[in-house]
Structure 1
Amino acid sequence: MKISLVVPAYNESKRIIHTLEEATYYMKSHFECYEIIIVDDGSTDDTVAIAETFSNLGVKVLKQPHAGKGKTLKSGILAATGDYIFFTDADLPYALDNIEVAIKHFKDETTALVIGARDLYHAENGIPYPFYRNIMSKAFSFIVNLFLNLDVKDTQCGFKAFKKDTAHTLFPLVEINGFGFDIELLKIARINHLKIVRIPVKLMHSSGSKVNPFKDSIKMLRDIKTVYKNAKRGLYEIR
């Protein structure tokens, strides 16, 4: 069994060393066969040079012009060769042992995707969301499910996992280059009746987020419209 971990990176020189130290130690400790793919999204700092120093520890670096998280992850996922393919954010905001949890769910042959769910973690542990995050999350979830009928409360969690065949079938259909790619990916899965399992994950906050709450929210509303139109046109059906 081979495991692929795909990590998108854009100007991450300040934290990529810690990320790769953690990731390589975890993967080497738990799996005999693995690869860590850092997909650089046109960084202008030393992200690539630093990541390449880990090449002897199972790290591969893909470089592309700056295009956005969606396109960056698409490149990494389609290059991945593992039996199970995972992606997470460059600051490792979710514990890597969620990988083992996801693999257990993949033992059910009907499971196609395993995705992190921050809302389940808060619900199961009785931990309230920060007020502003709760309002934004509920509003976005309402809009997404109103138009796209995903039945997924936390679409934007940066921890998702796939069987290789599933990933290499879904991602060629993903067109959105920015943060809205998650909702497009999940809509494609829903249209094709693929089983999605949600697992509770704890978000560990860190500084340096690339998300602009105002600008990116507007872009994602546009992405919802794009996904709605594409679904109506039958562009997401796997043939």
Structure 2
Amino acid sequence: MSEIEVSCVLPVYNDRDALATAVPRSVKCLETIAPGRFEVLVAEDGSTDGSAEFVAGLAREDARIRLLHSDERLGRGRALNRAFTAAQGSIVCYYDVDLATDLQHLPELIGAIHQGYDIATGSRLLPTSDIVRSGDREIASRGYNQLVRTILRSSLHDHQCGFKAFDRARLLNLLPAVSSNHWFWDTEVLVRAERNGYRIREFPVRWRQGAGTTVRRKDVVEMGSAILSLWWQLHAEKS
């Protein structure tokens, strides 16, 4: 294989069924974007449903597919850190394995890094975004992102969309300061990147809510706590 240009990461935890669709569709899409110069990394995070074994089988048949298995649960943030560190491409990206964000946007995502942006991120909250999700999720998402914009002074609209790309070298320079190990990783990376002068492109996407996603009272409390914790960290770092 020629030198890797693009590394796409699929974070996975007990997603065996979704992988059967996501991996081949990713390969097919990447063949048009970076033919012969890409890899698909599955960051499998302590699954118990056969996800690792399934991907290992795919990897034996196609060298462009790589499995990064963890025996213990790392959490979304640590699993992504591990994957991006192991990636071979100069451009790295990730998206959710349920393909909630339409892969039609992948060329635009990767193209933004080619154009000189340090980070590109899909957004479900721009006026022209095309999204379908339940009312409780919509309210929680808009409320959360408004808090991030107000308290952490971010100019972005959607911090948690699972569809992002990075200049790998620039991302690795940022990661040592990122403390979140799980879902808040996305927000912390974007907020810290903005504060460090990174060029970020946010663009509207077509997004569909996956099955079985709900918002619990515990989630809302954790969201608020994470925002305040990062605000305190940033304030302490400035002092």
TM-score interval (norm. to shorter): 0.7 to 0.9
CA contact 1:77–1:171 (8 Å) conserved in 2: no
Partner of 1:176: 180
Cα distance in 1 for partners of 2:130, 2:195 equals 33
SS in structure 2 at match of 1:44 = coil
Which residue, 73, 84, 88 being the options, matches 1:77? 84
1:118-145: per-residue Cα shift (whole Å, max 9, x none)? 122xx22687875434322221122112
Q: Which amino acid aligns with 1:19?
A: A
Q: Does 1:22 align with 2:29?
A: no
Cα distance in 1 for partners of 2:28, 2:114 equals 25
Shift of 1:99: 2.3
Unaligned runs of 5+ residues in structure 2 are none
Shift of 1:208: 4.4
TM-score, L = length of structure 1: 0.88
Partner of 1:7: 10
Shift of 1:36: 0.7
Q: Does 1:92 align with 2:99?
A: yes
1:1-52: per-residue Cα shift (whole Å, max 9, x none)? 6111011100111221111121122223432211111111111110000011
Cα distance in 1 for partners of 2:147, 2:207 equals 23
SS in structure 2 at match of 1:124 = coil
Q: Does 1:63 align with 2:66?
A: no
Cα distance in 2 for partners of 1:16, 1:129 equals 22
CA contact 1:68–1:177 (8 Å) conserved in 2: yes
Seen in structure 2, the aligned counterparts of structure 1 residues 129 and 52 have a Cα distance that, compared at 3 Å, is closer
> Percent identity of the aligned residues?
25
TM-score, L = length of structure 2: 0.88
Shift of 1:95: 2.2
Seen in structure 2, the aligned counterparts of structure 1 residues 197 and 179 have a Cα distance that, compared at 3 Å, is same
Unaligned runs of 5+ residues in structure 1 are none
Map 1:1-239 to 2 at 5 A: 2-31=5-34, 32-55=36-59, 56-57=61-62, 58-64=64-70, 65-109=72-116, 111-120=117-126, 123-124=127-128, 131-209=135-213, 212-234=215-237
Q: Which amino acid aligns with 2:151?
A: F
Seen in structure 2, the aligned counterparts of structure 1 residues 44 and 134 have a Cα distance that, compared at 3 Å, is closer
1:159-211: per-residue Cα shift (whole Å, max 9, x none)? 011112112112232211121111111121011011111011111232244x6
Q: Which runs of 4+ in 1 moved over 4 A?
A: 125-130
Shift of 1:149: 0.6
Cα distance in 2 for partners of 1:49, 1:152 equals 38
Q: Which amino acid aligns with 2:80?
A: L
1:74-110: per-residue Cα shift (whole Å, max 9, x none)? 111111121211100111111223221123323433x
Cα distance in 2 for partners of 1:5, 1:187 equals 22
Cα distance in 2 for partners of 1:152, 1:18 equals 31
